[in-house]
């Protein structure tokens, strides 16, 4: 006998007593299977069965790793964008650039220079590319400051905030030195780099 349940992720699943920590798809088991099933409690819910022997034996077995494994599998279905934003300082000010008004995600926002890692590219490579392509200046990584994640409409944004030193003057048409607090509107609009910069200021203040 086996019994199926739909968990909070909407997955119809079953559990074998012979594999107490494995979540198995319903299609993986034939209808004539006689495998015993028993209740398993996780951080995200409980899969139950009608087995009276196991139900009487003890309280549900806690398998804390199971929920994390399911979540990890689901994350594999969502594209992840690994990005770096840079903090370039001039005293108590940081360099901010203006996003184009026709930007797909954050039009018109004043934020930090940032870029997305390409295949085989290192963090240092990316920071150098941000300086060359987005500022027209030479950047060198100094240290990692913060990291965070944010769900966007089509992907998961995984971002690190790095401090960088700059050689030369930016040729970007719209840049300025600003107080970190002036990044608040960008953070409110959904800019993760602005949010991380403000978070870092609060942490070191």
Quote the domain boundaries for residue 68: 5-75
- Let me know whether 44 and 109 are in one domain: no
pTM above 0.75, yes or no: no
**Domain match, 12 and 95 both:** no
Query: Do the beta carbons of residue 183 and residue 111 sit within 8 Å?
Result: yes
Report CA-CA distances (Å) from 49 to 31, 53, 56, 66, 156: 16, 11, 12, 17, 35
Residue 48's nearest CA partner among 77, 87, 5, 85 is 5
Same domain, 181 and 199: yes
Q: In terms of C-beta distances under 8 Å and separation of at least 24 residues, what long-range contacts does 96-102 make, across chains too?
A: 96/175, 96/176, 96/177, 96/178, 96/182, 96/183, 97/134, 97/135, 97/170, 97/172, 97/174, 97/175, 98/174, 98/175
pLDDT at position 127, please? 98
Per-10-residue mean pLDDT, the chain, length 205: 46 43 44 44 43 46 60 73 97 96 92 96 98 96 98 95 97 94 97 97 81
Strand partners of residue 161? 85, 146
Alpha-helical (H) ranges within the chain are 52-57, 64-75, 123-129, 184-189, 192-204
Cβ distance 13 to 20 under 8 Å? no
> Token pair of 14, please?
């079953």
Regarding whether 157 and 118 lie in a shared domain, the answer is yes
Same domain as 89, residue 70: no
Q: Among residues 75, 100, 133, which one ends one of the domains?
A: 75
Same domain, 84 and 178: yes
> Does residue 145 contact residue 196 with C-beta atoms inside 8 Å?
yes
Q: Indicate if 58 and 155 belong to the same structural domain.
A: no
As a whole number of Å, the end-to-end CA separation of the chain is 61
pLDDT at 38: 40
Q: What is the predicted pLDDT for the residue at 64?
A: 59
**Number of domains comprising the chain:** 2
């Amino acid at each position: 006998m086996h019994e199926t349940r739909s968990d909070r992720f909407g997955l119809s699943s079953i559990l074998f007593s012979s594999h107490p920590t494995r979540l198995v798809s319903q299609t993986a088991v034939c209808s004539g299977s006689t495998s015993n099933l028993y209740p398993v409690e996780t951080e995200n819910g409980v899969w139950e069965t009608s087995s009276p022997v196991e139900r009487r034996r003890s309280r549900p077995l806690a398998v804390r790793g199971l929920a994390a494994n399911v979540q990890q599998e689901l994350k594999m279905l969502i594209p992840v964008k690994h990005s770096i934003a840079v903090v370039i300082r001039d005293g108590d000010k940081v360099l901010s650039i203006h996003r184009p008004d026709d930007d797909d995600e954050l039009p018109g926002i004043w934020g930090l220079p940032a870029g997305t890692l390409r295949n085989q590219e290192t963090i240092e490579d990316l920071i150098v590319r941000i300086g060359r392509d987005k500022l027209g200046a030479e950047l060198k990584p100094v240290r990692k400051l913060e990291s965070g994640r944010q769900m966007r409409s089509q992907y998961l944004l995984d971002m690190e905030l790095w401090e960088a030193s700059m050689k030369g003057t930016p040729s970007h048409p719209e840049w300025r030195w600003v107080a970190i607090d002036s990044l608040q509107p960008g953070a409110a609009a959904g800019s993760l780099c602005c949010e991380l910069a403000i978070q870092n200021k609060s942490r070191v203040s």
